[in-house]
Structure 1
Amino acid sequence: MSVVKILFCLLLTYHLNEGKKIKGNKAVDGEQRVVLRLNQPYVSSSVFRMFLEGEDNCTLDPLQLHTLTSCGFNSSNPIIIITHGWSLDGMMESWVLRLATTLKTNLIDVNVVITDWLSLANTHYPTAAQSTRTIGKDIAHLLQALQVHYQYPVRKVHLIGYSLGAHICGFAGSYLEGSEKIGRITGLDPAGPLFEGMSPTDRLSPDDAEFVDAIHTFTQKHLGLSLGIKQAVAHYDFYPNGGDFQPGCDLHSIYDHISQYGLLGFEQTVKCAHERSVHLFIDSVLNKDKQSMAYRCRDKRAFDKGVCLDCRKHRCNTLGYDIQKVRSGSGKRLFLNTRSHMPYKLYHYQFRIQFVNQMEGIEPSLTISLTGTKEESGDIPIIVTETISGNKTHTFLITLDRDLGDLMLLKLHWEGSVLWKNMWNRLQNFIPWGGRERKPLLTLGKISVKAGETQERTSFCALTNDGQRVEVSQDEVFVRCKDDTPKQHRRKLCRFRE
């Protein structure tokens, strides 16, 4: 895993050292921020192509309006503009056509346009990064042509940018003339190098559109660099699997990538985590019945404890195309876990267990299994990272690739360590009369499981009267408490109320 990421970072470092560094922090100074005016001659550095179907596209020219009509532009439909990032080989990456095809096929009544800026993207990284302002102006000029000649409202525009393309979209929003803003910008793992830590005018920011969302998938630093930006840049910033790296993208997955992509398999492994943001977005369009839900949280550590599965006051949202566009005064960081392949959705559960009057400090190894009205979970190991003693409630995050339905039964197993078992067996030999009372017990209080996607919390009660006292290597069964009946109407609480 580390070898692949280090190779990519070495390549990026080479380009950073060889290229000309961006000077200063004033991204949009008085001269640069002059808005574009259509009565001035303007030469675009980008090529815009209207995506039709398959691999067919039609080149647009903002200065020749008949190309819009001949390419099938429909001013009644919204427009989505896809912008790629830095290019190593000067070729359009395969995900661009896949995303365009997915949008056109599934949304149908939409104009899909691809921004081709390969002539500037296929340069040293710092030069390409500096060119993001130029390409942003190109997009702004296209949108203003639509405004003037078609009375097309830019609030119907959705810009989707990957890596450097995300910042291009931000600059496009800042260069637009007039008070009306672009409707939505989606940043797919916005580029980190030369943008991390910069002011909002120097990168994608919430000010660039009416609504901005970003998906961060590769923020892990190597050699002082991170391909994706770690800082929040949107109204909603999503951090799948913590945002630093993604499952299925390590070196062990290279054989799967080679079997799928042939000789390009190694390249696919290198850019896997960075490009995962694109495929998560594609997944949100293809799998409408498996929308990934994310939850607002302080950081990944708190999320992994399972304490953030709350949807009150817009604390959760859907990742991808169908996000609920709710603006607030401050941006929100949201976390979720995903699978390593499509469909990426996982179901999140919070497991809470109370230990009562635990006099001896222990670190138990617990396994639980859940049974619902739809599915069974199978055995789920619970990793206790701290010593249990006294009266304390512990919470854990559980993720499953299937919806269990209404939870009805929970089985808990306490497995002592091999060392503990050996010590206990020796103690029994020395004190054969010790009996059952001398054997250590876990005394349990309240047990509950909360489903993040439905916001339903289920309380469990022991099946037998002495079920709250669990012995080592013993299975104990708990059932839904009698006064805790399923509430079917709560299954959609995680959706926002309009």
Structure 2
Amino acid sequence: MGEENIRFLTIWIILGNIFGTFSSVPEATTTTVFVTTPPVPTTAEWITDFSDIVSKFSLRTAEIPDDDMCYIVAGRPETIKECEFNAETQSFIVIHGWTVTGMFESWVPKLVSALYEREPTANVIVVDWLTRANQHYPTSAAYTKLVGRDVAKFVTWLQKELQLPWERIHLLGYSLGAHVAGIAGDLTDHKISRITGLDPAGPTFEHADDQSTLSRNDAQFVDVLHTNTRGSPDRSIGIQRPVGHIDIYPNGGTFQPGCDIQNTLLGIALEGIKGLQNMDQLVKCSHERSIHLFIDSLLNTQQQSMAYRCGTKEAFNKGLLVTTSTRSAPPAAPRCTSRPVK
């Protein structure tokens, strides 16, 4: 057996284990998950009790986007000054999703850098809920309510402490983090300006109520990118139903170009042992593409990506788009409404 064949055989064995693990996630939703969730708040005082906050909030810098150098702690105003928070500009709060490794994924510093390149004077805060995100998927999914409460408390405290305009607060959540952002927005006593959902997680959320998921009621403007909706409802990695004011489904939203198994396996095989470290890309390639498309929209200001309005998924598949274009449309889509993806 040749060396390349051995590589492929090894990869297929590992691949089977990975897909076996992930495919069991939706089935596990019927398993009893022991997560203590506080009762629904009935008074206004709960949001000022910071003693139960577990999540950490790091103000990252453009110079060191890949490390947590300074934490802002709710209830401790001195940490705002220590971290050199700029109260006169835009604030972005980035929320990661489920993690197998228990560590931040490589996209986090890339998004931080892109946000600073677009808004050099901004504050980019990364939410660290790794200890809760590094659990069996149904457990981490259940924890989104607690993490959402943490974020709601933090944002409300920071806003009141500095009298920040709510219009300058923008939450960005990926996968489970998108639902964390939605829950936080639902709990604040004033609507957050904007929430961006980057392929919100599907399993256990496809049929959940608005209080448990990201929804258009959670902010003044909710925009969502769906990039991995392949499979039956509640079994696809990303949520299938629209949950925002604008829901964009790049390439139809089911899966993304270059993420097919054959191409990914070939790339991993050619890298040898090093390639085994990237096996998770087989599962999350299309899922994570939502982040990289958003990063592109931040950096590629000269040639913005365009979204075209379509009545139904079936109409999209047939190339039948609706209304009249306000800008030049590609030849394959002559009847559409175009909108910059920002």
TM over 0.5: yes
Distance 1:83 1:258, change over 3 A: farther
Counterpart in the other structure of 1:252: 262
Pairing of 1:53-68 with structure 2 (within 5 A): 53-54=63-64, 55-56=66-67, 57-68=69-80
1:9 and 1:222 in contact (8 A); partners too: no
Counterpart in the other structure of 1:181: 191
In the TM superposition, residue 101 of structure 1 has moved relative to its aligned partner by 1.2
Deviations 1:333-367 (A, max 9, x none): xxxxxxxxxxxxxx9524xxxxxxxxxxxxxxxxx
Where 1:64 maps in the other structure, the secondary structure is coil
Runs of 4+ in 1 over 6 A off after TM superposition: 3-6, 258-261
TM-score by length of 1: 0.58
**1:294 aligned partner, one-letter code:** A
Counterpart in the other structure of 1:296: 309
In 1: Cα distance, 2:233 partner to 2:198 partner: 23
2:330 matched to 1:349?
yes
- Structure 1: gaps (5+ residues): 317-346, 351-396, 399-449, 456-493
Among all aligned residue pairs of Structure 1 and Structure 2, give the percentage whose two residues are the same amino acid.
39
Counterpart in the other structure of 2:93: 81
Q: Per chain length, whose mean CA-contact separation is higher, i.e. which structure has more relative contact order (CA < 8 Å, sep 6+)? A: 2
CA RMSD of aligned residues (A): 3.0
**2:202 aligned partner, one-letter code:** G
**2:304 aligned partner, one-letter code:** Q
Pairing of 1:475-490 with structure 2 (within 5 A): none
Distance 1:8 1:190, change over 3 A: farther
**2:212 aligned partner, one-letter code:** D
In 1: Cα distance, 2:241 partner to 2:297 partner: 23
1:257 and 1:269 in contact (8 A); partners too: no
In 1: Cα distance, 2:277 partner to 2:313 partner: 32
2:268 and 2:276 in contact (8 A); partners too: no
2:119 matched to 1:107?
yes
Where 1:131 maps in the other structure, the secondary structure is helix
Counterpart in the other structure of 1:129: 141
**2:184 aligned partner, one-letter code:** A
In 1: Cα distance, 2:47 partner to 2:210 partner: 27
In 1: Cα distance, 2:27 partner to 2:118 partner: 43
Counterpart in the other structure of 1:219: 229
Deviations 1:380-421 (A, max 9, x none): xxxxxxxxxxxxxxxxx26xxxxxxxxxxxxxxxxxxxxxxx
In 2: Cα distance, 1:238 partner to 1:87 partner: 25
**1:288 aligned partner, one-letter code:** T
In 1: Cα distance, 2:51 partner to 2:324 partner: 48
In the TM superposition, residue 59 of structure 1 has moved relative to its aligned partner by 1.3
**1:105 aligned partner, one-letter code:** E
2:253 matched to 1:243?
yes
In the TM superposition, residue 106 of structure 1 has moved relative to its aligned partner by 2.7
Distance 1:285 1:171, change over 3 A: same
Deviations 1:165-195 (A, max 9, x none): 0000000011112xx2100001100000100
2:180 matched to 1:168?
yes
In 2: Cα distance, 1:283 partner to 1:134 partner: 31
Which has the larger displacement, 139-148 or 38-47?
38-47
Counterpart in the other structure of 1:372: none
Q: Determine which structure has more spread, i.e. the larger CA radius of gyration.
A: 1
Counterpart in the other structure of 2:58: 49
Distance 1:306 1:248, change over 3 A: same
Partner residue of 1:95 out of 92, 104, 107: 107
2:215 matched to 1:234?
no
In the TM superposition, residue 495 of structure 1 has moved relative to its aligned partner by 6.1
In 1: Cα distance, 2:208 partner to 2:287 partner: 20
Q: How many residues align?
A: 319
In 2: Cα distance, 1:305 partner to 1:170 partner: 33
Counterpart in the other structure of 2:167: 155
Counterpart in the other structure of 1:31: 40
Distance 1:230 1:9, change over 3 A: farther
Where 2:101 maps in the other structure, the secondary structure is coil
Where 2:258 maps in the other structure, the secondary structure is coil
1:258 and 1:265 in contact (8 A); partners too: no
2:92 and 2:122 in contact (8 A); partners too: yes
2:207 and 2:234 in contact (8 A); partners too: no
In the TM superposition, residue 241 of structure 1 has moved relative to its aligned partner by 1.0
TM-score by length of 2: 0.83
Counterpart in the other structure of 2:292: 279
**2:148 aligned partner, one-letter code:** G
Structure showing the higher helix proportion among its residues? 2
2:203 and 2:234 in contact (8 A); partners too: no
